[in-house]
């Protein structure tokens, strides 16, 4: 089995967002959910009608609804020179991790064949002027990046408008990508100065294929179930085992007429009956070399809780969203002990089921890496207690990717006890596997990270890195502007943040973009006026029009944190934000302002980067000198001679 080599570092956590983009030259037709037939009756035939005349502009919710037209009829009736963007009402059976019903499609959007790319892009959000670097450790002061302006929450008869707008924007992205892979994202970056210099990845660099995708999906579902306090094996694992054991069972599990609850075959007991202990796939095996394969994926922290379906089209003036009773979903808070006990038990049960079929070392390796990737990404903004458990988990996995993940937790965990546990775990690891991560931390453009890196070097007793600390002591502040030798442009490296729930389309393509992947995890984008689900609800997949695919990830954050958001209802007040570094071009005036704010105010006052280097040198050597690289070199050279 060929496996694409990736790194656990290549993980991102962007989930979903809301869309409100008025554009020209576009039309839409609502596709009502077909009536469900009673048991034992034949399904009703689809309604047919003549396509209504389409008008340019954003789907107007105050215009008469267009009667539904079958997809085939719509295509045939499309005006000359127009492209038709439709979604199938069903998809092939998917043995993914969730075991959820096949999502339905509610809309069909038509686009002129010659529509300019600029008309497919969202409106640009207002970008606040940045007058200089952030001089403290307050994450709320970090500049925020968004896919588009934040939409106003709909009320009254407009309920559901944001759902329509989200589906509309996803259809535009699919139309743009139909001409060239990642064409939409390329055009968006070129049109947005605030996105320039962001660490986007395109093409094969941002995509994962093959068995890695399926193993990651199952690993992510296991984490979700444990966060919701659900014990037992996820449906996707049982379905995958059934499928590999007997391909013919497909028709029995998922008949062509539609998905049903998957029966457990005689050869596999229900999860609740599995009692025999089995070693976790994270058990010690060979230590992989750097760059070993890993699930190059990410998972939304919370998929949106959307209304179940659009109501059938009637003779009303506005297409209505049929809403289930709106219940505010409280985000489940589970104790760290309960989570890790449930997660470990669930993994043991999954391994018991997998052990009943032949497994090779490569499969065991992929499962182990997928579990690490899912845990580190999903738990990135969870409580300190749960992340302390993550340190213990990674400490028990003898793998280079676990070592790198521990080093990143040292850099980006604000809690001292979490960092201390990670440092203790690294003391028995190969130094070469985490050295680069710590050294990069010394130059990270947020002083708190550099201080943690220097502190870890001292506590790990890495005297071999004293030269690196001396280099840091004589180097300029990483937040200062630098001039590129290639083109003379002045750039600054700065940290930015993104709301994890509102920026899905900045990180993932829609499910209709690119070649279909039956194993790819899909999730609905979050809609701002709809509650987010509890972790146990998993990833909502009720509407094909709102799905994005997780096997392609354009942006991967360095770390995540929960920040307070005003007027958050019906979303929780504390929401996840993802942080990463961009390179931004500056004018000469802007560069001068940065240098003025970061220059040494008075003699002997050190920057936070130099303070961290001096503190680490003192701890490592047990000596003291003037806070300059020259003074420390003289002291250390004298010590060596003596």
Q: Confidence class of residue 482 from pLDDT cuts 50, 70 and 90?
A: very high
Percentage of residues of the chain with pLDDT beyond 90: 47
The predicted pLDDT at position 433 comes to 97
Q: Which one, of 519, 469, 423, lies nearest residue 636 by Cα? A: 469
Asked whether the beta carbons of 144 and 561 are under 8 A apart, the reply is: no
Residue 41 has pLDDT above 70, yes or no: no
The predicted pLDDT at position 625 comes to 94
| Mean pLDDT score across all residues of the chain | 74
Least confident residue range of 94-98, 112-116, 335-339, 506-510: 94-98
Buried b (16+ CB within 10 A) or exposed e, 158-178: bbbbbbbbbbbbbbbbbbbbb
- Higher-pLDDT residue of 546 and 78 is 546
Beta bridge partners of 82: 112
User: pLDDT tens across 107-140, in order?
Assistant: 888 999 899 999 999 999 998 889 899 999 999 9
Mean per-residue pLDDT, 252-261: 32
- Higher-pLDDT residue of 349 and 248 is 349
Structure tokens at 465: 């890195």
Instruction: Please state, in angstroms and rounded to a whole number, the distance separating the CA atoms of residues 371 and 396.
Output: 13
The predicted pLDDT at position 71 comes to 37
Least confident residue range of 574-588, 594-608, 620-634: 594-608
The predicted pLDDT at position 357 comes to 73
The predicted pLDDT at position 485 comes to 75
Mean per-residue pLDDT, 472-498: 92
Mean per-residue pLDDT, 377-397: 96
User: pLDDT tens across 241-252, in order?
Assistant: 443 443 333 333
User: pLDDT tens across 315-339, in order?
Assistant: 333 333 333 333 333 344 579 999 9
- Higher-pLDDT residue of 532 and 58 is 532
C-alpha radius of gyration, the chain, whole number = 27
Instruction: Please state, in angstroms and rounded to a whole number, the distance separating the CA atoms of residues 208 and 541.
Output: 21
Structure tokens at 529: 């006026």
Residue 576 has pLDDT above 70, yes or no: yes
Q: Confidence class of residue 269 from pLDDT cuts 50, 70 and 90?
A: very low
Asked whether the beta carbons of 142 and 495 are under 8 A apart, the reply is: yes
Asked whether the beta carbons of 367 and 215 are under 8 A apart, the reply is: yes
Structure tokens at 62: 């105050």
- Higher-pLDDT residue of 314 and 538 is 538
Residue 46 has pLDDT above 90, yes or no: no
The predicted pLDDT at position 230 comes to 77
- Higher-pLDDT residue of 267 and 450 is 450
The predicted pLDDT at position 626 comes to 93
Mean per-residue pLDDT, 561-581: 94
The predicted pLDDT at position 355 comes to 80
Report helix, strand or coil for 62. coil
Identify the DSSP state of 267: T
Instruction: Please state, in angstroms and rounded to a whole number, the distance separating the CA atoms of residues 79 and 110.
Output: 10
Asked whether the beta carbons of 340 and 369 are under 8 A apart, the reply is: no
The predicted pLDDT at position 280 comes to 38
Beta-strand relationship, 559-564 and 107-112: unpaired
Instruction: Please state, in angstroms and rounded to a whole number, the distance separating the CA atoms of residues 303 and 378.
Output: 12
Cβ contacts of 535 within 8 Å, gap of 6 or more: 224, 227, 228, 302, 331, 332
Report helix, strand or coil for 112. strand
Q: Confidence class of residue 537 from pLDDT cuts 50, 70 and 90?
A: low
Give the CA-trace dihedral at 145, 151, 153, 159, to 10 degrees.
Answer: -130
Instruction: Please state, in angstroms and rounded to a whole number, the distance separating the CA atoms of residues 611 and 607.
Output: 6
Span between the terminal Cα atoms of the chain, in Å: 59
Q: What are the φ and ψ backbone dihedral angles of 8, each rounded to 5 degrees? A: -60, -20
DSSP 14-32: ----------SS-EEEE-P
> How is the beta sheet containing 559-564 ordered, strand by strand?
482-483, 490-499, 574-585, 559-564
Q: What are the φ and ψ backbone dihedral angles of 562, each rounded to 5 degrees? A: -90, 130
Asked whether the beta carbons of 381 and 301 are under 8 A apart, the reply is: yes
Q: What long-range pairs does 429-437 form, CB within 8 A, spacing at least 24? A: 429/403, 430/287, 430/400, 430/403, 431/460, 431/462, 431/464, 433/290, 433/400, 433/403, 433/404, 434/403, 434/404, 434/406, 434/407, 435/462, 435/465, 437/404, 437/407, 437/408, 437/411
Q: Confidence class of residue 436 from pLDDT cuts 50, 70 and 90?
A: very high
Cβ contacts of 41 within 8 Å, gap of 6 or more: none
Give the CA-trace dihedral at 591, 597, 603, 606, to 10 degrees.
Answer: -100
The predicted pLDDT at position 535 comes to 66
Q: How many residues does the chain have?
A: 642
Asked whether the beta carbons of 500 and 575 are under 8 A apart, the reply is: yes
Identify the DSSP state of 110: E
Instruction: Please state, in angstroms and rounded to a whole number, the distance separating the CA atoms of residues 119 and 172.
Output: 9
Instruction: Please state, in angstroms and rounded to a whole number, the distance separating the CA atoms of residues 469 and 460.
Output: 14
Instruction: Please state, in angstroms and rounded to a whole number, the distance separating the CA atoms of residues 274 and 446.
Output: 48
Asked whether the beta carbons of 139 and 579 are under 8 A apart, the reply is: yes
User: pLDDT tens across 4-39, in order?
Assistant: 444 443 433 333 333 333 333 333 344 444 443 444
Residue 567 has pLDDT above 70, yes or no: yes
Q: Confidence class of residue 486 from pLDDT cuts 50, 70 and 90?
A: confident
The predicted pLDDT at position 354 comes to 81
Please state, in angstroms and as integers, the Cα–Cα distance from residue 436 to each residue in 5, 277, 403, 404, 457, following that order.
19, 39, 12, 9, 12
Residue 402 has pLDDT above 80, yes or no: yes
Mean per-residue pLDDT, 342-347: 93
The predicted pLDDT at position 598 comes to 93
The predicted pLDDT at position 342 comes to 94
The continuous run of DSSP H or E covering 429 comes out as none
Residue 396 has pLDDT above 50, yes or no: yes
Instruction: Please state, in angstroms and rounded to a whole number, the distance separating the CA atoms of residues 514 and 21.
Output: 23
The predicted pLDDT at position 181 comes to 92
């Amino acid at each position: 089995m060929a496996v694409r080599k990736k790194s656990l570092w290549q993980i991102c956590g962007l989930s979903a967002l809301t869309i409100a983009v008025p554009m020209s030259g576009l039309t839409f037709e609502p596709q009502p959910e077909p009536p469900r037939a009673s048991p034992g009756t034949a399904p009703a035939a689809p309604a047919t009608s003549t396509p209504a005349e389409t008008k340019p502009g954003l789907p107007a919710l105050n215009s008469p609804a267009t009667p539904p037209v079958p997809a085939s009829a719509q295509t045939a009736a499309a005006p000359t020179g127009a492209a038709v963007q439709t979604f199938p009402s069903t998809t092939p059976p998917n043995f993914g991790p969730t075991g959820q019903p096949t999502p339905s499609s509610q809309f069909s959007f038509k686009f002129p064949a010659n529509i300019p790319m600029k008309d497919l892009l969202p409106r640009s959000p207002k970008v606040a002027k940045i007058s200089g670097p952030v001089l403290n450790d307050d994450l709320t002061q970090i500049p925020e990046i968004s896919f588009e302006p934040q939409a106003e929450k709909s009320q009254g008869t407009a309920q559901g408008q944001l759902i329509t707008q989200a589906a509309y924007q996803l259809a535009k992205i699919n139309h743009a990508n139909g001409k060239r892979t990642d064409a939409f994202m390329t055009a968006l970056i070129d049109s947005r100065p605030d996105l320039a210099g962001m660490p986007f990845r395109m093409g094969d660099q941002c995509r994962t294929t093959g068995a890695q995708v399926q193993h990651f999906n199952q690993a992510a579902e296991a984490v979700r179930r444990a966060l919701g306090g659900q014990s037992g094996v996820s449906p996707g694992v049982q379905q995958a085992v059934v499928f590999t054991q007997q391909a013919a069972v497909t028709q029995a599990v998922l008949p062509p007429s539609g998905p049903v609850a998957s029966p457990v075959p005689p050869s596999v007991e229900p999860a609740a009956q599995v009692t025999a202990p089995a070693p976790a796939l994270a058990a010690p095996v060979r230590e992989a070399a750097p760059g070993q394969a890993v699930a190059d994926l990410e998972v939304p922290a919370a998929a949106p809780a959307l209304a179940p379906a659009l109501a059938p089209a009637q003779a009303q003036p506005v297409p209505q969203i049929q809403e289930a009773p709106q219940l505010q979903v409280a985000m489940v808070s589970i104790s760290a002990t309960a989570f890790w006990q449930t997660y470990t038990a669930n993994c043991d049960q999954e391994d018991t089921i997998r052990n009943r079929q032949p497994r090779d070392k490569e499969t065991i390796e992929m499962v182990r890496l997928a579990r690490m990737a899912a845990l580190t990404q999903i738990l990135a903004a969870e409580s300190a207690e749960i992340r302390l458990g993550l340190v213990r988990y990674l400490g028990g996995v003898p793998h280079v990717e676990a070592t790198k993940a521990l080093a990143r937790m040292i850099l980006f965990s604000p809690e001292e006890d979490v960092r201390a546990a990670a440092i203790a775990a690294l003391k028995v690891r190969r130094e070469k596997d985490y050295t680069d991560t710590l050294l990069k931390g010394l130059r990270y453009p947020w002083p708190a990270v550099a201080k943690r890196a220097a502190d870890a070097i001292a506590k790990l007793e890495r005297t071999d890195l004293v030269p690196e600390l001396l280099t840091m002591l004589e180097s300029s502040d990483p937040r200062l502007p630098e001039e590129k030798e290639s083109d003379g442009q002045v750039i600054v490296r700065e940290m930015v943040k993104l709301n994890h729930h509102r920026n899905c389309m900045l990180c993932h393509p829609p499910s209709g973009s690119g070649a279909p992947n039956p194993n790819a995890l899909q999730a609905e984008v979050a809609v701002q006026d709809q509650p987010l689900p509890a972790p146990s609800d998993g990833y909502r997949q009720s509407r094909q029009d709102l799905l994005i695919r997780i096997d392609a990830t354009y942006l991967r954050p360095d770390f995540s944190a929960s920040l307070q958001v005003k007027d958050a209802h019906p979303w929780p007040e504390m929401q996840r934000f993802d942080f990463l570094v961009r390179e931004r071009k500056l004018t000469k005036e802007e560069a001068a302002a940065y240098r003025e704010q970061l220059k040494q105010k008075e003699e002997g006052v050190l920057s936070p980067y130099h303070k961290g280097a001096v503190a680490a040198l003192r701890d490592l050597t047990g000596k003291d000198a003037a806070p300059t690289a020259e003074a420390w070199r003289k002291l250390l050279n004298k010590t060596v001679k003596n």
